[in-house]
Amino acid sequence: MSDFIPQPSCADPEDKNRLNIAAARQRIADLITPLAGWQRCPIRDALDRVLAEDIISPLNVPAHNNSAMDGYAIQSSDITAEPFSLKQVGIAFAGQPFQGEVDSGECIRIMTGAVVPKQCDTIIMQEQVEVNDDNITIHSQPPKGEHVRYIGEDLKQGEIVLSSGRRIVPSDLGLIASLGIAEVNVSRRLRVAFFSTGDELKSIGESLQAGQIYDSNRYTLFGMLKRLDVDVLDMGVIPDQKAPLRQALLDASQQADVIITSGGVSVGDADYVKEMLAELGQVDFWKIAMRPGRPLAFGQIDNALFFGLPGNPVSVMVTFYQFVTPALRQLMGEAQPEATTIQVTCTDTIRKRPGRFEYQRGILYIDQNGQTKVKTTGGQGSGILSSMSNANCFILLDEQCDGLPANSQVNVQPFSGLI
């Protein structure tokens, strides 16, 4: 009788030595210290950068009480039983305040955004006013303060407007500009080096021989990294040979804050990444209880963090979104909200075995009744890169799930919430 004992593999539904996703994320987070470096830049160059310090409002916004409507500024004490009449004594435009006094029984014509005279506290919309030469008649009893925007209503002087760790979005640029601030302090950009490993991989432009394929992982990695606004160093394809691999890792560790590789983290005879990392750094190899993307390596080479991702194209993207993205954002000092998940009806039958968390690729859509639903992209193999291109979300299936019939409720994670 043979003494052969099968070893754990990615085909097994369960693995006693596995890590669940939450534990893996926590181990990574525990080893990361945000970068201390920062730089000052004009606000137009600050889009997608991470704030390195709080932005404090130097002034009140609005700076004065102003009108929210075109109409007439009045004193609420003049409001009597309707109708009532007032004398118009002037006009105020945005940027051109009325310079006189408004006495009892008087009003001024006022435009949207114009300063409300200190004697006035209420705005009557022009559509609600009957005009007769210099007199107006009002046929209603407006509440005190109607259509007035008060000083500091939006922002108060000394208030924190945007907090350190915020990734700046377009609306933030306008908000910062409204305060008269021309430059902000942002965290310096991360430097990320990445390369693929494998003798079968060829770069675009090279001829393919039997058994060879074009390397796609470097292009998906490039795209995902650029969306995080980091400086990227594409080191190409490194063959499955110890000397070139060792040199590539050394070069990357001297130039980058983070190193990312794809391939070479399994147990194949030609997978030398593990051996090189044991020599050059401190790296753990994990089996994650997930599909796709079971093997993952994480650690440090010199002062650079290292992520060894699987070689299959979909596995690269799933592990990048679920582990690398949060880590890079933490390294940049970015405050991170939880990724958005929503519950919707899945119109397809889902096939799955219990034992591992699965990220199946899905397409969120609006049906003819206006209901948000999801369907799968079809084949869910980790080498089917078109499934990621066609998808706009992950369908999240927990470890206990043993498949689902059509029209079941599922949790989905839109791709738009992962960047």
Domains of the chain in sequence order: 21-37+188-331 (3.40.980.10), 38-61+153-187 (3.90.105.10), 66-149 (2.170.190.11), 342-417 (2.40.340.10)
Instruction: Summarize pLDDT for 16-29 with one digit per residue, the tens.
Output: 558 899 999 999 99
Collapsing DSSP states into helix, strand and coil, what is residue 102? Answer: coil
Amino acid at 101: E
Cα→Cα distances 94→64, 68, 112, Å: 11, 11, 7
Q: What's the pLDDT at 396?
A: 97
Q: Residue 172 carries which DSSP code?
A: H
**pLDDT lower than 70: segments of the chain:** 1-17, 264-272, 383, 419
Q: What is the pTM of this model?
A: 0.84
Query: H/E element holding 395?
Result: strand 393-397
Average pLDDT, the chain: 89
Is the CB of residue 241 less than 8 Å from the CB of residue 197? Answer: no
Give rounded-to-5 percent helix, strand, coil for the chain. 20, 35, 45
Take residue 141 and report the two structure tokens written for it: 């009893």
Report residue 345: phi and psi, to 5°: -85, 130
Q: Which of 227, 198, 211 is nearest to 317 (CA)?
A: 227
Q: What's the pLDDT at 140?
A: 87
Q: What is the CB neighbour count within 10 angstroms for residue 136?
A: 22
